[in-house]
């Protein structure tokens, strides 16, 4: 049998604790009445519908690793390669996200932000910048994917 | 709803484990507790199974973890059914089933005795309705928000999900997640959430974008239900519904849950562990201590902050056991031992992770000596004032917290002046104070820029103790119509 748990409910009394309780519930009621969540617009409602329907294909475009998919054909499945961008890696700059997004896409391959590995991915914003970065870091291009994106190998 | 199917085993496994641990205990609202805690506990156990599979037999970790999970669920579920059936057959006199008895009691309770009872029932029904409407709206908002940003925030994408991908894509090379080459991914972080994600992907056979939001929503709803359970059964039914509604209105827990961060899962385990410990201390039941220990262990398996929680709670319980030794020696000692028993498996797993794999760290694993850390703490007075100012600014932010921390502070004053401070209610404010002091120390010794660190992490850290602050506020500031659990109460 269940343990008897209730005790006699006392009516609110004009004691300090009774007054505090009444005021607390009044405050809560006010908070509930005045609280609002932001309203949503059409496209988001459509996305929610797709989410509930379990259709994933639309959400692939939100994957931050998608821009790095073309490199999958050129890189080894495992090991370590370098990943170079317009400027040298700085963990406190927003550009650091490129390395992290690429890493998420290419796991279990590890991406080193330093230009020290035999193979490197160049993920720059323009071809000219990519070429300049290749020269200053001692690599040579082996495949150009266009728009500043290249595969490179360390010069021997 | 295929993307929801990975929930099946964690829900059944978590339910079986908790139902077995809670058998023959006088826990009130057991079903509501099971409803709240089964899925998170199941996630914890499934992630542990996955970790051990991947550690011991990496080449076949995925099929082994699935088979073990299903096998363990069937075994424990079968054992639970067998235990329940033998108990029923052993009964000498026919008694109505608990369901029928409950229905009869509810029917009887539904008949109003006088006007006050009618008024109370109407007020309760309205409160319940407000809770359900708020819950519906918040879930709707959650789904809208995650649909617009399915990969979550920075940490979710580049730390938690990254680890999950290592576990799922490459069990043979999973240790790559600890490589110094990607030290920015925090190799020393525990793996409950990544393990949960990898479990779901393994079940579905692909890296589903939809699974992480569902898992996060489960933790969010569980956090709400655990508050409703405790307040309903330990304070009053009215406090239960209003406490749940109030939590649903708090923006930070919802926001970080939508962002797929692990702060709310940690908050869930910390809350469940503390609340169960309070009930266990009041009831003096060893099994309840064990459930509390299990939840504390899973908190440590969720985030590093969970280790701090585990240490603080163990010290508090140890202190209480020492103080109470004169009166009820064997019961309290048994309670402490049961608590430590519950902690065991998750804690051992965290230790394995920290000793053999994720050895680096910004704090204890940073290579700095204790003396250096102490010097850092005491040489930064301006930083201390900045941290204290952050507490004040965040605490007063009504748009985010709806006055929660003001209520909590006021509840602290009420508690201080209260004549009859029984029921171990003081544990919550002491715990909150110690945990947040620990976070303040961590800010001081962190190698990261303090302003940046406070801006990015402070609100999330407050989420950890927010449910407990809410419980304490309701315990101190509302009518208590429920008597505390009694020592050695009847079994249910």
A61-105 pLDDT, tens digit each: 999 999 999 999 999 988 999 999 988 877 777 777 899 999 999
Which residues on chain B are in Cβ contact (under 8 Å) with A97?
154, 158
Interface contact flag, B213 A17, Cβ < 8 Å: no
Worst-scoring range by mean pLDDT, A47-51, B21-25, B103-107, B300-304?
B103-107
pLDDT at A39: 74
Worst-scoring range by mean pLDDT, B132-136, B180-184, B436-440?
B180-184
> Rounded to whole angstroms, how far apart are CA atoms B356 and B215?
28
Interface contact flag, A62 B478, Cβ < 8 Å: no
**Cβ distance B274 to B428 under 8 Å?**
yes
Give me the mean pLDDT over the B8-36 stretch.
Answer: 93
Token pair listed for B161: 């999900």
Higher per-residue pLDDT: B479 or B137: B137
pLDDT of B112 strictly over 60: no
- Residues spanned by the domain of B368: 2-87+108-377
Local structure of A110: helix, strand or coil: strand
Domain membership of residue B472 (yes or no) is: no
∠ CA B256-B260-B262, nearest 5°, is 75
pLDDT of B71 strictly over 90: yes
Q: Which of B114-123, B171-180, B407-416 has the highest mean pLDDT?
A: B407-416
Higher per-residue pLDDT: B490 or A129: A129
pLDDT of B419 strictly over 50: yes
Interface contact flag, B181 A112, Cβ < 8 Å: yes
> Rounded to whole angstroms, how far apart are CA atoms B196 and B180?
24
pLDDT band at residue B481, thresholds of 50, 70 and 90? low
Backbone φ and ψ of A111, nearest 5°: -110, 125
Backbone φ and ψ of B465, nearest 5°: -105, 0
Which residues on chain B are in Cβ contact (under 8 Å) with A6?
481-483
Domain membership of residue B442 (yes or no) is: no
Mutate one of B117, B182, B206, B207 to test the A interface: name it (highest A CB count within 10 A): B182
pLDDT band at residue B284, thresholds of 50, 70 and 90? confident
Which residues on chain B are in Cβ contact (under 8 Å) with A11?
116
pLDDT at A2: 47
The structural domain count of chain B equals: 1
Which are the contacts of B242, defined by CB distance < 8 A and separation ≥ 6? A25, A28, B127, B131, B474, B478
Worst-scoring range by mean pLDDT, A36-40, B14-18, B228-232, B245-249?
A36-40
Instruction: Report the run of H or E that residue B399 belongs to, with start and end.
Output: helix B398-401
Token look-up 């508690």 returns: B415
Domain membership of residue B487 (yes or no) is: no
pLDDT at B312: 95
Interface contact flag, B481 A21, Cβ < 8 Å: no
Domain membership of residue B444 (yes or no) is: no
Taking CA–CA distances from B185, the nearest residue in chain A reads A100
pLDDT at B188: 87
ipTM field: 0.86
pLDDT of B408 strictly over 60: yes
Taking CA–CA distances from B176, the nearest residue in chain A reads A108
**Whole-prediction pTM value?**
0.90
Give me the mean pLDDT over the B309-333 stretch.
Answer: 79
Give me the mean pLDDT over the A19-30 stretch.
Answer: 91
**Cβ distance B250 to B399 under 8 Å?**
no
Higher per-residue pLDDT: B109 or B17: B17
Interface contact flag, A17 B414, Cβ < 8 Å: yes
pLDDT of B274 strictly over 80: yes
The minimal CB distance from B414 to the residues A10, A20, A56 is found for A20
Give me the mean pLDDT over the B39-53 stretch.
Answer: 96
pLDDT at B1: 53
Which residues on chain B are in Cβ contact (under 8 Å) with A68?
none
Among residues B329, B326, B315, the alpha carbon closest in space to that of B277 is found at: B315
Taking CA–CA distances from B105, the nearest residue in chain A reads A2
Taking CA–CA distances from A61, the nearest residue in chain B reads B150
Interface contact flag, B150 A3, Cβ < 8 Å: no
Any idea where the domains of chain A sit in the sequence?
Answer: 14-62, 64-154
Give me the mean pLDDT over the B237-261 stretch.
Answer: 95
C-alpha distance from A110 to closest chain B C-alpha (Å):
7
pLDDT of B193 strictly over 70: yes
CA atoms within 13 A on the CB side of B330: 0
Domain membership of residue B161 (yes or no) is: yes
Higher per-residue pLDDT: B190 or B26: B190
Token look-up 């932010």 returns: B397
A vs B, Cβ pairs < 8 A, gives: 147
C-alpha distance from A59 to closest chain B C-alpha (Å):
7
pLDDT at B62: 87
pLDDT of B109 strictly over 70: no
Mutate one of A23, A32, A39 to test the B interface: name it (highest B CB count within 10 A): A32
pLDDT at A93: 74
pLDDT at B385: 85
pLDDT at B323: 77
- H-assigned helices in B205-262: 211-230, 237-249, 251-258
Domain membership of residue B450 (yes or no) is: no
User: What is the per-residue pLDDT across B351-395, written as a single tens digit (0 to 9) for each?
Assistant: 999 998 877 666 655 566 777 777 766 677 778 888 889 899 988
Which residues on chain A are in Cβ contact (under 8 Å) with B173?
78, 108
Which residues on chain A are in Cβ contact (under 8 Å) with B490?
1-3
Mutate one of B147, B245, B452, B456 to test the A interface: name it (highest A CB count within 10 A): B147
The pLDDT mean for chain B works out to 86
Give me the mean pLDDT over the A125-138 stretch.
Answer: 91
Interface contact flag, A47 B181, Cβ < 8 Å: no
């Amino acid at each position: 049998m269940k343990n008897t748990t209730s005790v006699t409910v006392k009516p609110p009394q004009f004691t300090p604790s009774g007054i505090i309780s009444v005021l607390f519930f009044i405050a809560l009621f006010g908070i509930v009445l005045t609280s609002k969540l932001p309203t949503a617009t059409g496209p988001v409602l459509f996305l929610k519908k797709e989410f509930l329907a379990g259709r994933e294909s639309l959400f692939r475009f939100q994957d931050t690793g998608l821009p790095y998919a073309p490199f999958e054909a050129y890189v080894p499945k495992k090991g370590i390669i370098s990943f170079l961008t317009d400027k040298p890696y700085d963990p406190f700059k927003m550009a650091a996200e490129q390395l992290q997004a690429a890493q998420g896409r290419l796991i279990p391959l590890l991406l080193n932000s330093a230009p020290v590995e035999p193979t490197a991915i160049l993920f720059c914003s323009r071809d000219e910048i990519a070429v300049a970065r290749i020269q200053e870091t001692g690599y040579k291009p082996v495949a150009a994917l266009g728009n500043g994106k290249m595969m490179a190998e360390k010069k021997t | 709803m295929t993307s929801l199917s990975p929930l099946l085993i964690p829900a059944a496994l978590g339910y079986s484990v908790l139902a077995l641990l809670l058998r023959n205990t006088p826990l009130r609202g057991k079903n509501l507790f099971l409803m709240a805690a089964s899925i998170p506990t199941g996630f914890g156990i499934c992630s542990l199974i996955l970790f051990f599979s991947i550690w011991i037999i990496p080449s076949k970790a995925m099929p082994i973890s699935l088979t073990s999970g299903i096998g363990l669920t069937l075994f424990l579920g079968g054992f639970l059914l067998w235990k329940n059936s033998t108990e029923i057959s052993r009964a000498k006199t026919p008694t109505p089933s608990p369901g029928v008895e409950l229905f009869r009691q509810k029917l009887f309770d539904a008949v109003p005795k006088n006007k006050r009872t009618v008024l109370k029932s109407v007020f309760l029904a309205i409160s319940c309705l407000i809770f359900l409407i708020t819950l519906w709206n918040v879930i709707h908002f959650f789904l809208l928000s995650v649909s617009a940003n399915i990969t979550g925030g920075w940490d979710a994408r580049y730390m938690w999900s990254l680890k999950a991908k290592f576990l799922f894509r490459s069990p043979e090379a999973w240790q790559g997640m600890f490589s110094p080459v990607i030290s920015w991914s925090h190799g020393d972080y525990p793996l409950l959430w990544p393990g949960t994600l990898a479990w779901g992907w393994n079940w579905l056979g692909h890296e589903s974008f939809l699974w992480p939001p569902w898992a996060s929503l489960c933790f969010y709803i569980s956090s709400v239900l655990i508050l409703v359970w405790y307040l309903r059964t330990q304070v009053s039914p009215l406090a239960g519904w209003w406490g749940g509604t109030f939590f649903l209105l708090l923006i930070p827990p919802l926001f970080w849950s939508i962002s797929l961060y692990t702060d709310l899962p940690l908050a869930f385990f910390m809350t469940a562990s503390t609340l169960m410990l309070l009930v266990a201390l009041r009831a003096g039941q060893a099994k309840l201590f064990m459930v509390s220990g299990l939840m504390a262990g899973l908190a440590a398996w969720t985030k590093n902050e969970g280790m701090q929680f585990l240490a603080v709670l163990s010290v508090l319980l140890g202190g209480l056991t020492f103080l109470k030794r004169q009166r009820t020696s064997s019961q309290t000692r048994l309670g402490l031992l049961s608590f430590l028993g519950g902690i065991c498996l998750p804690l051992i797993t965290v230790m394995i992770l920290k000793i053999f794999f994720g050895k680096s760290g910004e704090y204890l694993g940073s290579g700095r000596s204790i003396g250096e850390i102490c010097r850092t703490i005491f040489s930064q007075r301006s930083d201390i004032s900045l941290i204290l100012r952050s507490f004040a600014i965040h605490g007063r932010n009504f748009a985010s917290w709806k006055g929660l921390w003001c209520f909590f502070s006021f509840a602290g004053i009420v508690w201080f002046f209260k004549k009859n401070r029984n029921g171990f209610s003081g544990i919550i404010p002491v715990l909150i104070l110690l945990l947040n002091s620990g976070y303040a120390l961590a800010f001081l010794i962190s190698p990261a820029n303090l302003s940046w660190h406070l801006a990015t992490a402070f609100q999330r850290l407050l989420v950890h103790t927010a449910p407990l602050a809410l419980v304490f506020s309701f315990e101190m500031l509302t009518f208590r119509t429920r008597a505390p659990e009694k020592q050695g109460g009847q079994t249910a």
